[in-house]
Amino acid sequence: MKRKPCLMRILPVWFFVLFLAGLVLVLGACRSVPNLPEEPKISIDSVSITEFSFKEAKFLAKVNVHNNYAIAIPFPEMEWEIYIGQNPLIGQAVKKDMKISANSSAPVEVSFVLDYGYITRMWKHLAGADAVPYQIVVGARFPIPLIEKKTFTATFKGQAPLPKAPVIAFKGIKFNSLNPAKVEFTLTWSVDNKNMFGLVIDKLDYRLLVNNSLWASGLAPAGIIIGSRKSSTIPVQVSVNSAAVIQKILSAGKTISYSCEGELGLSSEGMKPGTALTLPFSYRNTADIKL
């Protein structure tokens, strides 16, 4: 009489066969599924300062919306926001009635202004700082099934230079020649630039009064460059040939009282063309007439 095969011995074999069959089916299915395309993406490619003054800076950010699909897609619902630290400053929505072609990108230009006066009033710890740290955040949602609830974001962190008004001082009068035919003297100013960028002297308009009498007036030579965090002097040579003025100078006595008034115009190579800041000045003192 033959023994019947034991069920406990047969079951493990069948389980192994079924496992192999299932593995073959799964591998075959995986081979037949094509690679899923990349989702769309947002990028901030560059941020630059387009205009710069002692009051504000204007920026231009170049953003790109990348369509990685093989079909055209609608332009997303997009918003951008500027942060100072963790605090939102300004923001705006971007709307475009267009489609982005398959496997291509749509450029977007985002312009914004940083008002230095407003920023230093709102964030007092930045007063006196060299730069303002800022962050741009761009978010977009695509009206496409499967990703319509997902927000795609891009960020950029930067530093905007925070301008400081330079310190100007009048250093006094130095007489070089003193005779009845001609009087020559030098007027000297100093300018202390506390900024992290260089400054250019565009103009220096002055009037020198001695004992309430006008001795000299005019414009100093322009174009003097003051480097970052450096000081410079501005000497102005004055030559007087007028007999009437020379007579006043020679009869003024050994010690004179003078006042020097005017205004200084400055800009920077990074600023928009033209004078960006005008500083008035007025100094009063006494000086000895001597060579």
- pLDDT tens digits along 275-291: 578 889 999 988 877 75
Q: How confident is the model at residue 127 (pLDDT cuts 50, 70, 90)?
A: confident
**Which residues lie closer than 8 Å to 127 by C-beta, 6 or more apart?**
120
Q: What is the CATH number of domain 167-288?
A: 2.60.40.10
User: CATH topology of 41-161 equal to that of 167-288?
Assistant: yes
Q: Which residues pair with 80 in a beta bridge?
A: 92, 138
Each residue's pLDDT tens digit, 3-21 = 445 444 444 444 433 444 4
Each residue's pLDDT tens digit, 182-209 = 888 899 999 999 988 888 888 899 999 8
Each residue's pLDDT tens digit, 39-52 = 999 999 999 988 88
**Per-residue confidence (pLDDT) for residue 143, from 0 to 100:** 92
**Per-residue confidence (pLDDT) for residue 17, from 0 to 100:** 38
**Per-residue confidence (pLDDT) for residue 215, from 0 to 100:** 83
* Window from 27-31, 38-42, 64-68 with minimum mean pLDDT: 27-31
Mean local confidence (pLDDT), 90-116: 94
Q: Cβ of 181: how many Cβ atoms within 10 Å?
A: 8
Q: How confident is the model at residue 220 (pLDDT cuts 50, 70, 90)?
A: confident
Question: Cα 269 vs. chain centroid, distance in angstroms?
Answer: 13
What's the rounded Cα separation, in Å, for the pair 254 and 289?
5
Residue 142 has pLDDT above 90, yes or no: yes
Tell which residue, 185, 158, 150, has the closest CA to residue 171. 185
Mean local confidence (pLDDT), 259-264: 92
Longest CA pairwise span in the chain (Å): 152
Domain ranges of the chain: 41-161, 167-288
What's the rounded Cα separation, in Å, for the pair 222 and 190?
14
Q: Whose structure tokens read 């928009």? A: 272
For the chain, the average pLDDT equals 83
**Per-residue confidence (pLDDT) for residue 26, from 0 to 100:** 46
**Per-residue confidence (pLDDT) for residue 62, from 0 to 100:** 97
Domain formed by 41-161, architecture: Sandwich (2.60)
Question: Cα 103 vs. chain centroid, distance in angstroms?
Answer: 33
The alpha helices in the chain, defined as continuous H runs, are 7-32, 116-122, 243-250
| pTM attached to this predicted model | 0.69
E-strand stretches of 195-254: 199-210, 213-219, 225-226, 231-240
Mean local confidence (pLDDT), 129-146: 93
